C-alpha cells in the first residue's frame, strides 16, 4: 500500500480508501466485515462512510452502514488503527427522513451524536458536509443555473463556527467538503483565514475517466490551497470495469438494481468506455486497473475511494495501487478524453 497525509495534518492515510455505501443494502453485515478484514490486511487504513448510507437513501435502512462499521470496530478492537471519515446529509427531498434543518448547529450536533453511537466510537477523524445547502450543480448536473427565488443565505462562517465547537470537544478531528464547487471551497477558506476557524482540508467529488469535471476549476483550488481530493466513483458505478459493455446488465449490479443510476452508460459514455477498454487491452491492462491507476496518479488526489460488492472486485480494486501507467498510455487517455470529454457529469 502507498500512503499520504491528509492535507495540513500529520494523519497518515492509505492512497486507497475503502468506500462503504453498499453495506446494509447490497451487502450484508458479514460481507461488510469481510471487506473491511481484507482491506485492512492489505494496508488500507482509511474508511469513508456517511449517515445517509446505504444507498439508495431509505428511512428503513438509513444508518445501517455506520452500524456495520461499528460492530466491526467492537469485534476487532482496532478503532485507533483506522482513519474514519463520515458525513452529514444536506437538505434534499430524499433526506427528509433524516432531518430537515440543513447545517444548523443543532442539526450538526444531532448528526454527529447519532453517527458516533452507530460507529461505536468517541470521535470521527474527518467529518464532511455531504453536499452544499445552497442551490448549485452536483450529482450529475453539468452546469449551474441560478435561482433568483432561492431562500439560502450565506452561512459559511456560522457552519465553521458550529464545526469548531465539536472539534474542541474532541468529537471530530478535521473537516472537509463533498460535492462542492470552487465558490464554496474558497468561501470556507476565506472564513477560515479571516476568523481563525477550522480549515476544510479535503473535498470528496466524483472523478474518473468519464467525468473529469474536477479539473475545470477545483483542481487549481486543490493544488494552490492544499485541499485534497477524495475521489469517489473512480469506476463510474462500475462502468469502467467494462461489465456493461456489449449491452450486458449483470444480475446484482448497481445499475441493474437501481436503473436511475444510469448516467455512465448513456451513448457517449458507452462509446468512451469502449475506447478506454481497447486501450487497456492493447497495453496488457485490465480496464479496472487502468481506470483506477489514472485516478491514483493525479497530483490533486489524496485518496481514491474504491467500493465493491464482491471480494474479488475489492481485490482487483485494491491491487491497482501497484499499477503505474506509462506516459504513452496517459497520452492516449487524454486523446480519448479530448475526443469525448466528460460524457457522464
pLDDT band of 142, cuts 50, 70, 90: confident
CB distance 173 to 306 below 8 Å: no
| Burial class of residue 151 in the structure, from the number of CB atoms within 10 Å of its CB (0-12 exposed, 13-18 middle, 19+ buried) | exposed
Greater confidence (129 vs 260) lies with: 129
Task: Report the percent of the chain where pLDDT is more than 70.
Answer: 100
Model pTM score = 0.97
- What is the β-pairing status of strands 228-231 and 301-306? parallel
Separation CA 9–CA 223 (nearest Å):
16
Let me know if 53 is a catalytic residue: yes
Indicate which residue of 38, 53, 123, 264 is catalytic: 53
What structural domains does the chain harbor? 3-339 (3.20.20.100)
Does pLDDT of 337 surpass 90? yes
Closest residue by Cα to residue 290 from 276, 269, 302, 303: 276
Q: What DSSP string describes 252-286?
A: T-HHHH-TT--GGGSHHHHHHHHHHHHHHHHTT--
Mean pLDDT score across all residues of the chain: 96
Per-residue pLDDT reduced to its tens digit, 255-272? 877 887 788 989 999 999
Digit-coded pLDDT (tens) for 241-256: 999 998 888 877 778 7
Compute CA distances 314 → 10, 31, 278, 307, whole Å.
Answer: 28, 12, 23, 7
Query: Which residues partner with 306 through β-bridges?
Result: 18
Phi, psi of 59 (to 5 degrees): -60, -40
DSSP letter string over 4-41? EE-TTS--EEESEEEE-TTBTTTB-HHHHHHHHHHHHH
Amino acid at each position: 500500500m502507498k500512503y499520504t497525509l491528509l492535507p495540513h495534518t500529520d494523519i497518515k492515510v492509505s492512497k486507497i480508501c475503502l468506500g462503504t455505501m453498499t453495506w446494509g443494502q447490497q451487502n450484508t453485515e458479514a460481507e461488510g466485515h469481510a471487506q473491511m478484514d481484507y482491506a485492512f490486511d492489505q494496508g488500507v487504513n482509511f474508511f469513508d462512510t456517511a449517515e445517509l448510507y446505504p444507498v439508495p437513501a431509505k428511512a428503513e435502512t438509513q444508518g445501517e452502514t455506520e452500524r456495520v462499521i461499528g460492530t466491526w470496530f467492537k469485534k476487532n478492537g482496532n478503532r485507533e488503527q483506522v482513519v474514519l471519515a463520515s458525513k452529514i446529509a444536506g437538505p434534499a427531498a430524499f433526506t427528509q427522513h433524516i432531518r430537515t434543518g440543513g447545517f444548523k448547529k443543532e442539526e450538526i450536533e444531532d448528526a454527529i451524536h447519532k453517527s458516533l453511537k452507530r460507529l461505536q466510537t468517541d470521535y470521527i477523524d474527518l467529518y464532511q458536509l455531504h453536499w452544499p445547502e445552497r442551490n448549485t450543480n452536483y450529482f450529475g448536473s453539468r452546469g449551474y443555473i441560478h435561482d433568483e427565488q432561492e431562500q439560502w443565505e450565506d452561512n459559511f462562517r456560522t457552519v465553521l463556527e458550529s464545526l469548531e465547537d465539536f472539534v474542541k470537544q474532541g468529537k471530530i478531528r478535521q473537516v472537509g467538503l463533498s460535492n462542492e464547487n470552487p465558490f464554496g471551497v474558497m468561501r470556507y477558506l476565506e472564513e477560515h483565514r479571516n476568523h481563525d476557524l477550522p480549515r476544510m482540508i479535503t473535498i470528496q467529488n466524483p472523478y474518473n475517466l468519464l467525468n473529469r469535471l474536477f479539473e475545470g476549476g477545483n483542481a487549481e483550488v486543490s493544488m494552490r490551497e492544499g485541499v485534497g481530493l477524495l475521489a469517489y466513483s473512480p469506476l463510474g458505478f462500475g462502468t469502467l470495469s467494462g461489465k456493461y459493455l456489449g449491452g450486458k446488465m449483470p444480475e446484482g449490479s448497481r445499475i441493474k438494481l437501481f436503473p436511475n443510476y444510469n448516467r455512465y452508460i448513456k451513448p457517449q459514455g458507452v462509446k468512451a468506455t469502449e475506447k478506454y477498454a481497447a486501450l487497456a487491452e492493447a497495453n496488457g491492462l485490465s480496464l479496472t486497473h487502468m481506470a483506477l491507476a489514472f485516478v491514483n496518479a493525479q497530483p490533486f488526489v489524496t485518496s481514491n475511494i474504491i467500493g465493491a460488492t464482491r471480494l474479488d472486485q475489492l481485490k482487483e480494486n485494491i491491487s491497482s495501487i501497484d499499477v503505474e501507467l506509462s506516459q504513452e498510455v496517459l497520452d492516449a487517455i487524454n486523446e480519448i478524453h479530448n475526443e469525448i470529454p466528460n460524457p457522464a457529469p
